[in-house]
A and B are shown apart, each in its own frame.
Chain A
Amino acid sequence: MPSRASRSLAAVWAILRKECRSEWRTRYGLNSALLFAVTALVAVSFGAGRLGDRVDVLAAMLWIVLLFATLASLSHAFVREVEGQTLSMLRRVASPTEIAIGKLLFNLLFLAVLEIVTVPLFLVLMGAPPPRWGTFLALLALGSLALAVSSTLLGALIAQSRGRGALFAGVSFPVLLPVLAAAVSGTRAQWQQLPAGGEIRLLAAYGAALMAASLLLYDHLWEE
């Protein structure tokens, strides 16, 4: 008899695979997200030019592009469910937490793909100095985690309202402001050869706090 935990894991895995398969079949979400991110990037590059020495502006620009890409695309995981009216079916086969974690993992994967394309492009286009890879990647990973955790919960929230993209951006911004602040500060520090330990710790702590709060709140989300 499979244990409860392994059954939950199986459900999460099933949901993740379903999301990937749906995304692959329609490819709507990823395409438009990539387009948006690259457009934002090109706009910044075109407008600001190569900023090799201005690491403070570089750090800010990088995270603004990532933030905007997140706000433009991560809500669609749930919005698609609402538009297809498949939420009822989903709720019949898995618990709210399993659904949430499945969607979160998908959003993380989504962000990872987005960043694999966007970040190198950014570094090249903007003439950024070589980053301290360990710190840089840690900041990217933890920042992205926080972005994804917040977006998964808030995406589920606004999917049940009349609002869409603009409302999602509006409600996400206050929650993501600490992430933006810490990530920008840390990214700048690593380019200035300064320690970024504090920022990394903050991002990790915030991500963990958001995760913990989300897990407690998901059961209330679809109670109707």
Chain B
Amino acid sequence: MEIKLEGNGLGHRYGRGRGLEPLSFALSGPGVVAVTGPNGSGKSTLLRILAGLLRPSAGASTLRVERCEFERAERRKVTGWASPDLHFYGELTVRENLEFAAEARGLTGRSVAVREVVGSVGLTSRLDDRAAALSTGMHQRLRLAFALLGSPPILLLDEPGSHLDAAGKGHLVEVLTRVRATTRVVLATNDPGERDLAEQSIALAGRGLGDTA
């Protein structure tokens, strides 16, 4: 599958002070790339921009799958995004949350897709528990399951290993190993273990938000 992800002078500023310094890159084809950098250097911002959730204040990004270009508004259809900012409906169960997501996105074979994705992160036993009852680690697994729903050609994972126990991390590695041949994965992380899962890496320098010099 032809996958192209490009950034051209991509940057974003939150009010005063920089969020993401202008960045240019070109990624093509499947594979795993790690985005690293100090806190506040804009890793999450970059992923949000690529996911179409944020309009960058500078530059532009292009996303192409099989020669089809996806504008910001359409990117949710071909990207899976998981981030610490992603939260689920506490009063609904894991199954209900994911089936709602699948239904709204128009995925066929909903319950099968949900069961599959839940199985790959090891949450099957918690399917009928309310999302509010999940521990942080289990919540993180739910985020990964959500990103994987529908097997999107592009995965944008922001600190996917955070809060995961050994079993959880095992599932993560398993998933990445399975998809790396067909999916473009962008992994934002500071964890050296996760960084090693990637073939390439993009290092974000820059002041970020924390630096008030």
Contacts and interface: CB of A to CB of B under 8 A. Distances in A.
- Touching chains A and B, CB distance < 8 Å: yes
Interface stretch (A6-14, A107-115, A184-192): A6-14
Given A15-B104, A93-B76, A224-B54, A22 B92 contact: yes
Contact of A11 (B81, B92, B106): B106
Interface string A195-223: 00000000000000000000000010001
A115 B105 CA distance: 33
Contacts of B146: 89, 92
Interface size class on chain A is 20 to 34
Contact of A91 (B53, B88, B89, B90): B53
B36 to A, nearest CB: 23
What's the dominant secondary structure at chain A's contact region? helix
A95 B53 contact: no
A88 B53 contact: yes
B174 interface: no
A95 B73 contact: yes
Contact of B88 (A10, A11, A86, A223): A86
Contacts of A86: 87-89
Contacts of B51: 92
B85 interface: yes
A223 B90 CA distance: 25
B103 interface: yes
Contacts of A128: none
A219 B72 CA distance: 11
Interface in A1-60: 2, 7, 10-11, 14-15, 17-18, 21-22, 25-26
Interface in B65-84: 73, 76, 81, 83
Given A88-B87, A91-B76, A18 B100 contact: yes
B50 to A, nearest CB: 13
Contacts of B53: 88, 91-92, 224
Contact of A84 (B48, B87, B106): B87
B157 to A, nearest CB: 13
B72 to A, nearest CB: 8
Contacts of B104: 10-11, 14-15, 93-94, 98
Contact of B100 (A14, A25, A219): A14
A2 B89 CA distance: 28
Interface string A110-150: 00000000000000000000000000000000000000000
Given A88-B86, A89-B86, A93-B76, A25 B106 contact: no
A10 B73 contact: no
Nearest to B82: A92
Contacts of A93: 76, 100-101, 104-105
A85 interface: yes
A223 B81 contact: no
Nearest to A223: B55
A18 B92 contact: yes
A29 B140 CA distance: 29
Nearest to A6: B106
A24 B177 CA distance: 41
B19 to A, nearest CB: 11
B96 A2 contact: no
Nearest to B130: A25
Contacts of A223: 54-55
Interface string A60-97: 00000000000000000000000011101101111110
Q: Which A-B residue pairs are the 3 nearest by beta carbons?
A: A93-B104, A25-B91, A14-B103
Given A10-B104, A11-B104, A223-B54, 18 more contacts: A7-B106, A10-B106, A15-B104, A18-B92, A22-B91, A84-B89, A85-B85, A86-B88, A86-B89, A89-B86, A89-B101, A92-B51, A92-B76, A92-B146, A95-B73, A96-B73, A224-B48, A224-B53
